[in-house]
Structure 1
Amino acid sequence: MTVSSLDYKTLEERSLRVREHVIGLSTNGGCFIGASLSAVDLIVYLYSEFLNINQSNLADPNRDYLFLSKGHDVPALYGTFVELGLLEKTRLQNHLSTEDHIYWHPNTNIPGVEFHSGSLGHLPSVAIGVAMDLKICGSSNKVVCILGDGELNEGTCWEAILVASAHKLDNLIFVVDRNFFQANARTEELIPLEPLADKFLAFGAAVKRVDGHSFTELHQAFSAYPFESGKPNVVIADTVRGKGLPSIQERADRWFCNFSADEVEQLLLELHGQHQTTLTSETLIVR
C-alpha cells in the first residue's frame, strides 16, 4: 500500500473508537489512561496496516507477533482488539473483575496476547527469542515489541538491543512510545534519554523517528522495513501523553486515573470536541 492509498478516514475513526474504549476503562478501578492514549495510534496502525494478525490466524505459525512490553497500555491494545473483532466489546465491562482476565496488564488468556507483561524491561528479550527462532527456521514473520520511553531506564532493554544487533535480527522492530513521561515525572528531568536515536545507533540498530500520531509518517517508516539488512529496527514515535483529551494531556498526575461514571461521560464529550472538562486532583487515584 502506498502512502497516498492509506485509508486515513478508517484509521482515524478506529483510533477515535479505541480512545473511547480506553476512557471507558478509566472508571470502576481505573487504568493507566495517559500512557494508553499516547499509544493508540501506534497500535491501531500496526494491527490495521503492518502486522499479519487477524481473527483467523492467531494460532498460525506464519502470523506476525506483537509484544506489548509497556503492558500498562493494555487498554489501547484491548480497544484495538475490539475494533478488529478479536475481542468481544462486552468483555471490557469485566475490567478488574475476578470473572475475567481483563485488568491492568496483558494476559495470555485473551486471544491475540502473545505474552503477559508486568515488570518493565522484560519483553524485549522475549521478542528476541521469537525473532531468533524465526530466523533459524527461515520464516519471514515480523516481530514488533512496543516499549515505553521510561522503560528504557531498565538495563535489560539495552542488553536486548546489543543481543539483537549481535544476531543481526532485522526481522525485529522495537517501537518506542516516546511521550516524554515516566510514571509521574518527565523523562528528561528524571534520567534524560536524549539524544535517543544516537544511543540506538551506537548499539547497532537502524533507527527512524516519526510523529507517532501521524499515520502518514508511521506508514512511511514501516514501509521501509527492514531499515537496514542485518540490523534490528527501531522506531522512535514521538507521542503526547493523554492524546485526545486536552484536560489531561501532558499532565504528570494523569498517568493513572480512576474516574466516576459522570467524569467518563465528560471525557467522552471532550474527546468528541463537545466539552472542555476540568478535573481536579481529588478525582483520581495515583499509583
Structure 2
Amino acid sequence: MTDRELKLKSVLLRKNLLKYIYKAKAGHTGGSLSCIDILNVLYNRVLKVDPANFRTPDRDRYIQSKGHSVEALFVTLADRGFFPESDLETLCQYQSHYIGHPTRKVNGVEQNTGALGHGLPICVGEAIAAKLDNKEHRIFTLLGDGELPEGSNWEAILSAAHYKLDNLYAVLDNNKQQITGSNSEVMNTDSVREKLEAFGWAVKEVDGHNLEELETALNNGQFEKGKPNFIIAHTTKGKGVSYMEGVIKWHHGVPSAEQFELAQKELDEAGALI
C-alpha cells in the first residue's frame, strides 16, 4: 500500500464508520473519527497479525482500551479481512456480536473492553508474559484521554516501568474532550508527558492525524531500552467532518439524514484532494 493509498484508506474508514453509526442510530462518533488514523496505521503498517490465523502465538497484540470507539475498530478489522464488512449491517442489533464495545466474539478482538482503565493493565500482563516466554512480539493499546484519570491506569504505568516492559506501546488519543466536557474542566491530567516520564516511561508526541509521524513512532523499535513506550497522539474529536470537529456533543451523536449526506460529501471532497 502506497502512502497515498494509506491516506485514502483513512477517508474510506471515516465514511464507513459514519455509515454504520447512521444505520444503527447509535455510536461514539467523535472519538471514533479522532482515532481512525491511528488504527489505519497500526493495522496497515505496524501490527503483525493475520486475519486468517488470528490466534497464532507470535502475533502482535492490540487491545483497544477506549472501547467505546468500537466503530473505528470494527471498520478497520472488516477492511483488513477479519470478517465480511456486511456483518456490520447488524451493528447494535439484537443478538449481533457487533455491539457498542469490543467483544472477543468478533474475530480480531483480543479482549473485551469498554470499562475505562482496563486495557492498559491487561497489556502490562501480556507484556510481562511475553518477556517471561522470551517472545519477540509487541503489545499495543489505545487509550482515551478521558479515561486517563482512572487509578488502574497509573498502577499499570508504574508496573510497566518497574518491569522494564520495552515491548509495550501505549498510544493516547489526545483529543482533549470527553463525554461531559473538556478534559481540563472534568479532570485535568496535564502535563501528561511530565507525569509519564516521572513514572519511568519513554514518551514521544506526534500529530495523531499525520500518518507518517504515527508510522515512524510506532515502527522504529524501542524508544529507550528497558522503558515502556508511550505516544501522545494529538488529535481532533470528530476529525474530518467540519460540523463535528471539536464539538463535545458529537461524543456519541448520530447524524441526521442531512448531516450524514454532508459528512459524506466533505469526506469525498477531502479524498479528491489527496
With the length of structure 1 as denominator, give the TM-score of the two structures. 0.90
Contact 1:26/1:264, CA 8 A, preserved across alignment: no
The structural deviation recorded for 1:184 is: 3.0
Q: CA deviation at 1:261?
A: 4.2
What residue number does 1:148 align with? 144
- Which residue of structure 2 aligns with residue 208 of structure 1? 204
Equivalent residue, structure 2, for 1:234: 230
User: 1:130 is paired with a residue of what secondary structure?
Assistant: helix
243, 246, 255: which is aligned to 1:247? 243
Show the counterpart of 1:41.
37
Aligned ranges 1:1-287 → 2 under 5 Å: 7-27=2-22, 28-273=24-269
Which amino acid is the alignment partner of residue 233 of structure 1? N
Q: Distance in 2 between matches of 1:147 and 1:169?
A: 17
Mapped partners of 1:20, 1:107: distance in 2: 23
Q: CA deviation at 1:72?
A: 0.9
Instruction: State the SS of the aligned residue for 1:228.
Output: coil
Note the C-alpha offset of 1:36. Answer: 0.3
* Residue ranges of structure 1 left out of the alignment (5+ in a row): 1-5, 275-287
Deviates more, 1:68-77 or 1:26-35: 26-35
Q: Could you say what secondary structure the match of 1:72 adopts?
A: helix
One-letter amino acid of the structure 2 residue matched with residue 33 of structure 1: T
- For 2:127 and 2:232, how far apart are their aligned partners in 1? 20
Shift of 1:114: 0.2
How big is the shift at 1:269? 1.4
Partner SS for 1:153: coil
Equivalent position SS for 1:66: strand
- Sort the Cα spacing of 1:211 and 1:263 in 2 relative to 1 into closer, same or farther, 3 A: same
Q: Distance in 2 between matches of 1:130 and 1:107?
A: 18
4+ residue runs of structure 1 moved beyond 6 angstroms?
none
Query: In the TM superposition, what whole-angstrom CA distance separates every residue of 1:18-71 from its partner, at most 9, and x where no partner exists?
Result: 101110122233110000000000001011111101223301001000000000
2-structure distance, mates of 1:165, 1:52: 24
The number of aligned residues is 269
Residue 47 of structure 1 aligns to which amino acid in structure 2? Y
Tell me how large the CA RMSD over aligned residues is: 1.4
Distance in 1 between the 2:216 and 2:193 partners? 18
* Residues 52 and 82, structure 2, Cα contact 8 Å, conserved in 1: no
Give the secondary structure class of the aligned counterpart of 2:53.
Answer: coil
Return the letter of the residue paired with 2:174.
R
**Taking every aligned residue pair, what percent have the same amino acid on both sides?**
35
Aligned-pair CA distance for 1:189: 2.2
Q: Assess if the C-alpha contact under 8 Å between 2:18 and 2:260 holds in 1.
A: yes
Within 1, Cα distance between the matches of 2:212 and 2:119? Answer: 28
Contact 1:150 1:187 in 2 (8 A): yes
Report which of the two has the higher share of helix. Answer: 2
